[in-house]
Amino acid sequence: MTTWRVLLLLIGAAPVAAVPAEPSPGTIRIDQLGYETTGPKHAIVATPDLTPLSWTLVDSTGEPVATGTTRPFGHDPASDETIQRVDFTGFMMTGEGYRLTIGRLGSQLFSIADRPFAAAATAAMSFFYQQRSGVPIEARYVQRPDLARAAGHAREIVTCFHGRDQRSVRWPGCDYRLDATGGWYDAGDHGKYVVNGGVSAWTLLDLHERLAALGDADAFADGRLALPERGNGRDDLLDEARVEVAFLLAMQVPQGRRVTVAFSTDTGAPAKDFRTIDAGGLVHTKVADEAWTGLPMAPAADPMRRFLYPPSTAATFNMVAVAAQAARIWRQSDPAFADRALAAARRGWEAAERIPGLHASSDFTGSGGYGDRQIADERFWAAAQLFVTTGEAPFRAVVTAAPFLRDGSVDLGWGSTALAGVLTLATVPNGLPPDLHAVIRDEIVARADMLLAERDHSGYRLPFSGAHYGWGSNSTLLNRAIVLGVAYQITRNAAYRDAVADVADYVFGRNALDRSFVTGFGARTTHQPHHRFWAQAADARYPAPPPGVLSGGPNDSARMDDGDPLKGRCVGQTCWRDDWRAFTMNEVAINWNAPLVWVTAFLDATRIRSARAPG
């Protein structure tokens, strides 16, 4: 990370655009995206004490339309605030320009609408199109003409990194090249990573696998998204996800190829124990620049050499899991693609089982590490996807022998993927015996109940009662919302859906900073994420971000960081700045926008439909 910092210091002479004017922060926090007409409506008020207060909801003409009294909560360690709560769920009149008031204090303006989340889900999907590598981003598919750009890394035909890493260890390279053109850029950088691409693609594909059960199979039917594939007769969510599935497949080492890899890649010591192995079937960890580029930087202007970085067991399991999932999803609509994906998954599985302890090195500069030494969860995830797709006994044996079906964990992320197996096993038809199937479903409901209990102890009604907010904290919350959403799918108990809405409310502004973390949605939104192309805040010649992009969110490691202006001045939920340099708090990433899509599309799919509406 030090290298990033150096680069960020070197830039800064370019013309800088003014940040748009916005209202000042207030102490009555609401979902700035708006509330559903028939959905839960909660606001949070930071107060000096716990005396109950009278609140009034006023409409756009200033008329009071509802009144009530706040409910004291107490001190909230995550924000270091004293909190009271407002519940105006009973108010169900659609409209714009509402404001919640307490005495002279007022919230930001908000709306009440039947489908507030629909537009956010569409915009959050557009993020993936605009992160595509290898193709031009065309003006007709994006929200503003200035978001169009030339194809980045249009012919990504790459060989293995050769040369010295940042600890001066020499890596020999390999004797082949792969065509790794395409896929999504990971984040604000131009790396394309298999670890992280995997969980991101799984999340979108998982949403697809649930939409029919949630009553909205056509949510992303052909033509719903603005994509070059529009009109091809296929689901647009699948068209977008396939971009990444294809990339994951392309990163697989061809049969019989030998590669020199390091088996000892401890983060604390130089890579050692180099051996030349038959690497056929393994998957390269990433393709990325050999050194960090500065910001701004259009992908097409990237001057760096790019390489494949060594294969790893974790990357291989990521590809296997998603390719196996893809094989069942495309089985009917594109059997040839399904066959290709399943064959790749099987080859990957065999290779990862043959070479179980090959870990990624974090010693290459120019890209993120995504190093993960605990890969039993990746193996379980891959086996679960293979089992659901094929029903074969060896995969079942791995799934049932692993501890993950019952381990109670509630977090899903790029380095902890067990839940991505559990959630699939619970709801996608498969050959587990009915009693075990029931155990898995009960287990998910039990995890969701734990999250509800956490919410009751969280000032901001979050399914997370801790005070420590880590890198990408918004995605941690959204991934917990996915567990709640699946519990709703299993039980149809509205309490779980309400808790999903609570997370959306937080992300769209009901938080201690009175800030929507999604660009373009909210009265006080995020304007300058850390991104090499959407870099207008750093250089006026570059575009501002499109709407629908999620900031990583509060990251309290800033408390300790000498270089950070927030050092010593923030707690958990307040450790965030809308600053393009703040890459630990305000970057964007595919594994963060994917659960934003999941949650907003879930809420839209499960909306209460009016009695008159067909279906």
- 369 lies in the binding site for ligand 9MR (CB under 6 A): yes
Phi/psi at 271 (5° precision): -60, 140
Provide the minimum distance between the beta carbon of 525 and ligand 9MR in the complex, in angstroms, as a whole number: 20
**Choices 16-24, 366-374, 389-397, 455-463 (CB under 6 A): range interacting with ligand 9MR:** 366-374
**Nearest to ligand 9MR of 363, 498 (CB atom):** 363
Which of 90, 46, 48 is CA-nearest to residue 68? 90
For the residues of 554-577, what is the DSSP string, one character each? --GGGGT-TT-TTTTS--GGG---
Provide the minimum distance between the beta carbon of 368 and ligand 9MR in the complex, in angstroms, as a whole number: 2
Provide the minimum distance between the beta carbon of 369 and ligand 9MR in the complex, in angstroms, as a whole number: 5
Provide the minimum distance between the beta carbon of 584 and ligand 9MR in the complex, in angstroms, as a whole number: 7
Joined tokens for residue 265 = 């890649």
Given 420, 487, 549, 589, the residue binding ligand 9MR (CB under 6 A): 589
User: In what order do the strands lie in the sheet containing 306-312?
Assistant: 192-193, 283-289, 306-312
Which of 490, 488, 470 is CA-nearest to residue 560? 470
Per annotation, catalytic residue among 36, 189, 206, 372: 189
What is the Cα–Cα distance from 603 to 488, expressed in whole angstroms?
11
562 annotated active-site: no
**Nearest to ligand 9MR of 190, 347 (CB atom):** 190
Which amino acid, one-letter code, is at 247?
A: F
Site string for ligand 9MR, 72-111 (x = CB under 6 A): ----------------------------------------
- 564 lies in the binding site for ligand 9MR (CB under 6 A): no
**Choices 3-11, 17-25, 365-373, 486-494 (CB under 6 A): range interacting with ligand 9MR:** 365-373
Given 118, 180, 187, 570, the residue binding ligand 9MR (CB under 6 A): 187
Per annotation, catalytic residue among 530, 539, 564, 579: 530
- The site that binds ligand 9MR (CB under 6 A) totals a number of residues, namely 11
Bridge partner list, 81: 76
**Choices 167-175, 182-190, 256-264, 268-276 (CB under 6 A): range interacting with ligand 9MR:** 182-190
With beta carbons less than 8 A apart as the criterion, state whether 132 and 229 touch: no
The pairing of beta strand 35-36 with beta strand 54-58: unpaired
Interface positions, 521-560, toward ligand 9MR (CB under 6 A): none
353 annotated active-site: no
244 annotated active-site: no
**Nearest to ligand 9MR of 186, 209 (CB atom):** 186
With beta carbons less than 8 A apart as the criterion, state whether 57 and 98 touch: yes
- 587 lies in the binding site for ligand 9MR (CB under 6 A): yes
Site string for ligand 9MR, 141-180 (x = CB under 6 A): ----------------------------------------
Which amino acid, one-letter code, is at 283?
A: V
Per annotation, catalytic residue among 209, 378, 587, 604: 587
Provide the minimum distance between the beta carbon of 587 and ligand 9MR in the complex, in angstroms, as a whole number: 4
With beta carbons less than 8 A apart as the criterion, state whether 273 and 331 touch: no
What is the Cα–Cα distance from 275 to 470, expressed in whole angstroms?
36
> What burial class does residue 6 get, using C-beta atoms within 10 Å of its C-beta: 0-12 exposed, 13-18 middle, 19+ buried?
exposed
Per annotation, catalytic residue among 556, 578, 579, 604: 578
Q: Which residue is nearest to ligand 9MR (CB)?
A: 368
**Nearest to ligand 9MR of 228, 369 (CB atom):** 369
**Choices 144-152, 187-195, 197-205, 299-307 (CB under 6 A): range interacting with ligand 9MR:** 187-195
In this structure, the number of other CB atoms found within 10 A of the CB of residue 184 comes to: 28
**Choices 126-134, 185-193, 270-278, 532-540 (CB under 6 A): range interacting with ligand 9MR:** 185-193
578 annotated active-site: yes
- 596 lies in the binding site for ligand 9MR (CB under 6 A): no
**Nearest to ligand 9MR of 278, 302 (CB atom):** 302
What is the Cα–Cα distance from 96 to 123, expressed in whole angstroms?
20
What is the Cα–Cα distance from 27 to 512, expressed in whole angstroms?
8
Interface positions, 188-207, toward ligand 9MR (CB under 6 A): 189, 191
Provide the minimum distance between the beta carbon of 590 and ligand 9MR in the complex, in angstroms, as a whole number: 9
Distances, alpha carbon 355 to alpha carbons 21, 33, 195, 350, 359, in Å: 55, 48, 17, 9, 10
> What burial class does residue 265 get, using C-beta atoms within 10 Å of its C-beta: 0-12 exposed, 13-18 middle, 19+ buried?
buried
What is the Cα–Cα distance from 505 to 523, expressed in whole angstroms?
13
With beta carbons less than 8 A apart as the criterion, state whether 522 and 516 touch: yes
Bridge partner list, 149: 137
What is the Cα–Cα distance from 306 to 290, expressed in whole angstroms?
6
- 186 lies in the binding site for ligand 9MR (CB under 6 A): yes
- 572 lies in the binding site for ligand 9MR (CB under 6 A): no
**Nearest to ligand 9MR of 117, 370 (CB atom):** 370
With beta carbons less than 8 A apart as the criterion, state whether 568 and 81 touch: no
Q: Can you tell me which residue has the tokens 């196996």?
A: 324
Please tell me the number of Cα atoms within 13 Å of 558 on its side-chain side.
26
Q: Can you tell me which residue has the tokens 């999504």?
A: 184
- 363 lies in the binding site for ligand 9MR (CB under 6 A): no
With beta carbons less than 8 A apart as the criterion, state whether 351 and 280 touch: yes
**Nearest to ligand 9MR of 189, 209 (CB atom):** 189
Provide the minimum distance between the beta carbon of 336 and ligand 9MR in the complex, in angstroms, as a whole number: 33
Interface positions, 453-472, toward ligand 9MR (CB under 6 A): 471-472
Write out the residues near ligand 9MR by the rule CB under 6 A.
Answer: 186-187, 189, 191, 368-370, 471-472, 587, 589
Q: Which residues are marked as active site?
A: 189, 530, 578, 587
